[in-house]
Chain A
């Protein structure tokens, strides 16, 4: 098995008068773990279905390994899809499920059986071959679905939120498992999810989508540390938002007048004085002043403290808006009360052109 690259070339998808995917060009590299991240209804599943061949794009081309996929149905593309609900065949045994694709390719029963047993062993399901999917746990069913998809030796494996039905522990375990299988097989994975944690932990690169538009494509670090749009900044990870107007700006930094006072931040969008801007600060980059020398200072009213384990979430109200600070969970924290001085460095804050936020 080896992966192939997937190319979306100026692809548009319309359903009647509704445009599910605006003109999009994406290049997914061979052997890469690529995630498409976005809220429900953003068009990510539509992209997946265009790649798998269940729908043809209204405009543009889909190429896999350089071959134009136009007019080719799902059966004739080098892809395999893992459905959100897995869509295992409940009336077949697990090995028959895995062997279905081989059956369709006309392999004899002995070869099918051997190959299916091998694949079930690869996903760690020895001894479960003769059972039906209904007898398995959620995580085990997941693996049958993966084995079934791998059986047809796809160059591209498409995963449509396959982990969303699992409970948290299992989900975290399956993330590692999926990643390991991807490394072992070298197949290109395109993973659809609305869970930014999932996307960040597993992917090589991520595309973040909103309302049919890809807002940013980048490595996980790029997406998290240098979000390109206000939506990406708020959808991926948590962010504090301060809105205002640019007072002065140079190539590196901008000073934004906000209702809470002036804030200095990195000038990512080459903002000029007078423009509306938003400043984003990750909670873990903000801190209590406590004698630190910080570029930006705010005064917030302490609301509450939530224990998250290794860190604590401190909730403040600054002006009339919430502001969150993550502090490491160290034993020596003094109890907070009333007005508290908070702050952050200019390098830890990013100013960008005002735009739509994640409203969830």
Chain B
């Protein structure tokens, strides 16, 4: 802190510190805290309360009618007392309806149904599969760009990777939809080859397979895997590759013993990013499956928030996903033997 003041002066230092505090508070602490708080309580709502209130109002109307027709003064007084009591009861019930009791506890976390839990596990397994596939696609790509291509060609290849990202993610996913659709690009090509027929509806239903979601997810997040790996492989001394070759190392051995150990931090970061993005992706499974195959967990969370109006359960679901991601990060760090510092690089 004192060094900061010495280097930048009091004004700038104050601005720096204020910005950092703002960032930590507004971007990290507050939303998470709000989510966690939401996930930790439920409303105690009497489901019959609405009916009770309606019935009370009906009774009240009857009583008021009776009151107007009553002749006896004593009966009138008694009726008035009843009406007052009922009105107090109504306002109490209305109070309870608008401001129900909050009950704190872990009930939202234990409330997940068997079906939802299956979807939860399935989504994690799918995201892992996407991560592994993306790694298999991206590692050779990153290595080629970093070590085999000439500088100009490497620049072109990187540009080719980045250009699709100038287009909105939704449009990119829709592009894949068009490619894989029943009468999409691939099926049209197959029809042209006489392998399928649109008339007999013998097209390949790509979109009904989870694989189509995988393809779109890998495509959507390929950069997040390629760039970290590219960055680490790029720093590998080319002489090391030549030395390994000179000593008789095969391509596999050279990668296994020399390149991959060097690229570990990049691989870990790429896997973490791809996993988190795909496990939390909403639009890709939504668009690609169009409801033809089961929900992903992210869609479930969406439904909790915006269809069931059950924010507390939604928050608990969402926070469970965050926990899974945290566990995944720790696992990757352990697996690849990299520290948080290596990843931050």
Q: Residues on A close to B: CB < 8 A?
A: 52-54, 73-75, 79-81, 83-85, 87-89, 91-92, 100-101, 103-105, 148-149, 151-152
Do B245 and A75 touch across chains, with their CB atoms under 8 A apart? yes
A80→B247 CA distance, assembly (Å): 7
- A225 CB to nearest chain B CB (Å): 37
Do A85 and B239 touch across chains, with their CB atoms under 8 A apart? yes
Partner of A104, one of B237, B247, B262: B247
Which residue from chain B places its CB closest to the CB of A151 in the assembled complex? B247
Do B242 and A104 touch across chains, with their CB atoms under 8 A apart? no
Do B257 and A92 touch across chains, with their CB atoms under 8 A apart? yes
Given the contacts A100-B257, A103-B253, A104-B253, A89 and B248 also touching, CB distance less than 8 Å = no
B244 at interface by CB-CB < 8 Å: yes
- A contact residues around B248 at 8 Å (CB): 75, 101, 104-105, 152
- B contact residues around A149 at 8 Å (CB): 247
A85→B240 CA distance, assembly (Å): 10
Do A80 and B250 touch across chains, with their CB atoms under 8 A apart? no
Given A74-B246, A87-B239, A104-B248; 4 other pairs, CB 8 A cutoff = A54-B245, A75-B245, A83-B243, A87-B243
B258 at interface by CB-CB < 8 Å: yes
- A54 CB to nearest chain B CB (Å): 6
Do B242 and A83 touch across chains, with their CB atoms under 8 A apart? yes
- B contact residues around A80 at 8 Å (CB): 246-247
B261 at interface by CB-CB < 8 Å: yes
Do B247 and A87 touch across chains, with their CB atoms under 8 A apart? no
5 smallest beta-carbon distances between A and B, as pairs? A87-B239, A101-B247, A87-B243, A104-B248, A74-B246
Q: Residues on B close to A: CB < 8 A?
A: 237, 239-240, 242-250, 253, 257-258, 261-262
A100→B244 CA distance, assembly (Å): 8
- A contact residues around B262 at 8 Å (CB): 91
Which residue from chain A places its CB closest to the CB of B239 in the assembled complex? A87
Complex A-B: 21 CB contacts under 8 Å: A53-B246, A75-B245, A75-B248, A79-B246, A83-B242, A87-B237, A87-B242, A89-B243, A89-B258, A91-B262, A100-B244, A100-B247, A100-B249, A100-B257, A101-B247, A101-B248, A103-B249, A103-B253, A103-B257, A104-B249, A151-B247
- A243 CB to nearest chain B CB (Å): 43
- A contact residues around B245 at 8 Å (CB): 54, 73-75
- B contact residues around A79 at 8 Å (CB): 246
- A168 CB to nearest chain B CB (Å): 24
Which residue from chain A places its CB closest to the CB of B262 in the assembled complex? A91
Which residue from chain A places its CB closest to the CB of B254 in the assembled complex? A104
- A253 CB to nearest chain B CB (Å): 51
- B297 CB to nearest chain A CB (Å): 38
Do B243 and A81 touch across chains, with their CB atoms under 8 A apart? yes
Q: Which of B237, B242, B243, B262 has the most CB of A within 10 A?
A: B243
Do B239 and A83 touch across chains, with their CB atoms under 8 A apart? yes
A74→B242 CA distance, assembly (Å): 9
- B contact residues around A92 at 8 Å (CB): 257
A87→B240 CA distance, assembly (Å): 5
- B205 CB to nearest chain A CB (Å): 47
- B335 CB to nearest chain A CB (Å): 16
- B contact residues around A104 at 8 Å (CB): 247-250, 253
A342→B25 CA distance, assembly (Å): 84
- A contact residues around B250 at 8 Å (CB): 104
A92→B259 CA distance, assembly (Å): 12
- A contact residues around B242 at 8 Å (CB): 54, 74, 81, 83, 87
- B contact residues around A54 at 8 Å (CB): 242, 245-246
- A165 CB to nearest chain B CB (Å): 13
A74→B239 CA distance, assembly (Å): 13
Which residue from chain B places its CB closest to the CB of A76 in the assembled complex? B248
A53→B247 CA distance, assembly (Å): 12
Given the contacts A100-B257, A103-B253, A104-B253, A89 and B240 also touching, CB distance less than 8 Å = yes
Which residue from chain B places its CB closest to the CB of A79 in the assembled complex? B246
